[in-house]
Amino acid sequence: MASTTPSDELPLGTSPQWEGMHRKIRKVCYVLLFGLVIEGALTFPLLAIWYGVPKLTPIEVCSELQKVMYSDGTRKCASHPLNSPPLGGPAEARGQTTAQDTWGVQPKPGYNPVGFRQLVENKERREKANAKDLKKDDGR
């Protein structure tokens, strides 16, 4: 291994003609590193706030999103035993019939985007509505 004195400008392994490129790569690595960490840290808070935490608990958010996912006001996020996919047992939504899609070789979903804290409104609206109307509900 070549010895480097503290006054050496070039890092080990970098010949002069590649010095500029290596320096740029090093800087980009720092940008990517900070980017990855910051977005990793911000993701959960962002998702939580957008989807209604803390007014909704995370499990309620899960349930509300499933209602949107399958356009079915009765869907809930329930616990599953260890014998669930992929280890065995039926998939949670196996045999569902309520999802709104335009089917074809490139299917197109039928749900609309969820607005800021809209899930809270959905839940409150549903709680006021007649229980009979739940299945007709589009999940909103």
Partner 1 sequence: MNEQDRQKRRALIILQVVIYGYLALMIAIQLRLWSQRHW
Partner 2 sequence: MAITTLSGGGGRRLDEHTDESKAAQREADKWMISGVILMGTAVLGVFGLPLFLWGLRLQIRAQKNGLSVRPVIVTLIGYMVMLDAALNTFGWAIDLMASHTFAARIFLPTWGNMFDGGYFWHYNELAVGGAGAPGEKAWEVLGIFIVFPMRIAACIGFLQMKRWGHQWMVVTCWTGCLMWMGYVANMTMYADIRFTGVVFPVIGWWLYDIFYITPFVAIPYLHTVNREIFSD
Distance CA 60, CA 68 (A): 12
Is 137 a binding residue for partner 2 by CB under 8 A? The answer is no
Distances (CA, A) of 53 to 19, 32, 83, 135: 49, 29, 30, 25
Q: Which CB sits closer to partner 2, 18 or 129?
A: 18
Is 130 a binding residue for partner 2 by CB under 8 A? The answer is no
Comparing CA positions, the residue from 132, 120, 130, 131 lying closest to residue 140 is 120
Q: Which CB sits closer to partner 2, 36 or 131?
A: 36
Distance CA 133, CA 35 (A): 46
Interacting residues toward partner 2 by CB under 8 A: 1-6, 11-15, 18, 21-22, 25-26, 28-30, 32-41, 43-44, 46-47, 50-51, 58-59, 61-62, 65-66, 68-70, 77, 79-80, 84-86, 91-94, 96, 99, 106-114
